[in-house]
Structure 1
Amino acid sequence: MSRRAYKLPIGLVATALLVASPLEAAKIYRWVDAEGNVHLSDRVPAEHVGNARSELSESGRELKRVQAAKTPEEIAREKELEKLRAEQQRLIEIQRAKDQVLLRTFRTEDDLLMARNGKLAAIDSNINVIRSNIRRMKNRLAEMQQSAAARERQGQPLSQNLLKDIENTRSQLRDSYTTIIQKEQEKESIRNKASRDLARFRNLKNLREENTDPQLDETGGPSLLDTVVVCADDRACDQAWIKVEEYVRQHATTRLQMLSDSIIMSAAPLKDDDISLTASRIRHKDKPGAELFMDLQCKPSPLGQELCKTEAVEKIRLGFRDYISGGQAQPDPTPPREMESE
């Protein structure tokens, strides 16, 4: 015998159960529909099968509960939640492994900072070698350009070997400056990683955020990346390149030795108070635009190196980005000498 479903006030539910026969009460189900009405019946209609329901005893005690059927949206959310939890657990395990490596590698934060400074010093040494090679290439290029100019004045044709050597040297200069930028970016990555590792190390060791030896936390001064300007496309780069030439002419104290669409270079410093500037337009390989990089060099002599450390020269270095981006050039520490392009 099937009993009809009734919509009853909650207060009448217990009474309805008490008057039911033992045989019939064994199959009494209770559920609430979307409108909040309570239903009691020995069967669940098809339209309510998805609702949460309870199976009740003769006394009205809940014997079993069936959860509401999940909607497709709820199922999709649960699957997404499972994926997120799995990824979260994977990240937790990775972090735990990193923490173990960190604690096994360094006993103190000084060890960590010394390792960082050692890596930075090694890269700086590499950069110094590259800059030394750049000085030699500049001198070699100047000699070849002088030779080419002399042959032209004498009405003699330029040999293909000489033209090829000039172009190869220019290409090597561009590659060298590209390498310097990459090395500076590598240094920046090392600093950032060391900073994160130090914060994590202190957290794991419950240490205060202070260093026992301030000398170990030095970063080695300003980065050459401070003179990098990124332009988004050829038009923006062409406009910026005009300002790059202006800046080099205003601040270099040696004559302009090379002027092209990819490199602007003044002659190598010969005197202790010489300032040589080289700007490179390093095009992106996989996207539009380029990086405009300026390098400042003083004579590799004690007085020349002291000049490069002065505040006035540092203003030239740091003023490049503001000037190219639309600001004003920093005051020149010394009046520029007359420059001529060969």
Structure 2
Amino acid sequence: MRKGIVLSLLMSSLMISTGMAGKLYKWVDEDGNVTYSDKVPPEQNKLAREELNDQGVVKEKTNRDLTPEEKKAKAAELKKARELAEQQRLEAIRLEKERNAILKSYTSEDQIIRLKGERLDSLYRNIEMAEDNLVIQQRNHEDLLKRAADRERNGQTVSKVFLDQIEKIKGQIEYQKQFIIDKKAEVETTTIKYDNELAKFKKYTGVEENESSE
């Protein structure tokens, strides 16, 4: 109570001495001294201060000047915020492009499922044919090796043409093996692709939200 009276008297005194009911500032210096004045000296502008009305109520607050370290930290924070905002903007653009591409490519879930099935069926047929060919080539290779061994045992010369034929079939066998590996990998990537496309289609048509709410 006494503090309020003292403050009121102090303010009244200041108002009378300045001859006006104008601005009144309050600040605390580096030594902890509280000062009231109608003007802030230039050397005190770096300090935090409050502007009071004639009733001693704070009208406006001014923060102190930041230290070099604080300015550096604030600049880094602002830079990080700008970078985050830019990332969010680019992500929004990417999602919009993705949405347009999905809705342009497909008209229904059934279409995606059908295309996935057709592509996988084609891949499985290719794998099956390659595996059948591989068995045949391996048998041919074994037969040629056996014939070459028989000729050597009988003291006959194995011609270069015969050896080239063995190497050719060996290369075909390696090609078929790699072909099968590649097609099996394509089965996996195709499955993932169409599953992702289906999930995106549901997302952008609202089907995903409807399913989760049921």
**TM-score, shorter chain, exceeding 0.5:** yes
Structure 1 counterpart of 2:90: 90
Which amino acid is 1:115 matched to? L
Structure 1 counterpart of 2:193: 193
Which amino acid is 1:172 matched to? Q
In structure 2, relative to structure 1, the CA distance for the partners of 1:61 and 1:73 (3 Å cut) is closer
Contact map agreement 2:109 2:201 (CA 8 A) in 1: yes
In structure 2, relative to structure 1, the CA distance for the partners of 1:57 and 1:139 (3 Å cut) is same
In structure 2, relative to structure 1, the CA distance for the partners of 1:74 and 1:63 (3 Å cut) is closer
CA apart distance, 1:113: 0.6
Query: Which secondary structure does the structure 1 equivalent of 2:141 belong to?
Result: helix
Query: Which secondary structure does the structure 2 equivalent of 1:150 belong to?
Result: helix
* 1:1-342 pair list within 5 angstroms: 17-20=11-14, 21=18, 26=23, 28=25, 30=27, 42-43=40-41, 49=46, 53-54=48-49, 56-59=51-54, 60-63=57-60, 65-66=62-63, 69=66, 70-207=70-207, 209=211
Deviations 1:52-80 (A, max 9, x none): x3452553543464576344233223322
Which amino acid is 2:185 matched to? Q
Deviations 1:301-336 (A, max 9, x none): xxxxxxxxxxxxxxxxxxxxxxxxxxxxxxxxxxxx
In structure 2, relative to structure 1, the CA distance for the partners of 1:68 and 1:99 (3 Å cut) is farther
Which amino acid is 1:62 matched to? K
CA apart distance, 1:160: 4.2
More helix by share: 2
In structure 2, relative to structure 1, the CA distance for the partners of 1:10 and 1:104 (3 Å cut) is farther
RMSD: 4.0
Which amino acid is 2:105 matched to? T
Rounded Cα–Cα distance in structure 2 between residues aligned with 1:183 and 1:63: 73
CA apart distance, 1:114: 0.8
Rounded Cα–Cα distance in structure 2 between residues aligned with 1:87 and 1:103: 24
Structure 2 counterpart of 1:272: none
CA apart distance, 1:90: 1.2
Deviations 1:138-194 (A, max 9, x none): 233123212211122113344444444434433432333223222222221221222
TM-score, normalization by structure 2: 0.68
Contact map agreement 2:53 2:59 (CA 8 A) in 1: no
More strand by share: 1
State the identity as a percent: 20
In structure 2, relative to structure 1, the CA distance for the partners of 1:120 and 1:61 (3 Å cut) is same
Rounded Cα–Cα distance in structure 2 between residues aligned with 1:10 and 1:185: 82
Rounded Cα–Cα distance in structure 2 between residues aligned with 1:184 and 1:43: 81
Rounded Cα–Cα distance in structure 1 between residues aligned with 2:33 and 2:167: 88
Contact map agreement 1:151 1:158 (CA 8 A) in 2: yes
User: Which range is displaced more, 183-192 or 155-164?
Assistant: 155-164
CA apart distance, 1:14: 7.1
Contact map agreement 1:127 1:180 (CA 8 A) in 2: yes
Structure 2 counterpart of 1:294: none
Unaligned 5+ segments in structure 2 are none
Rounded Cα–Cα distance in structure 1 between residues aligned with 2:4 and 2:146: 104
Rounded Cα–Cα distance in structure 2 between residues aligned with 1:118 and 1:11: 90
Determine which structure has greater relative contact order: mean sequence separation of CA pairs < 8 Å that are 6+ residues apart, divided by chain length.
2
CA apart distance, 1:97: 1.6
Which amino acid is 1:187 matched to? V
Rounded Cα–Cα distance in structure 2 between residues aligned with 1:11 and 1:68: 32
Rounded Cα–Cα distance in structure 2 between residues aligned with 1:11 and 1:189: 81
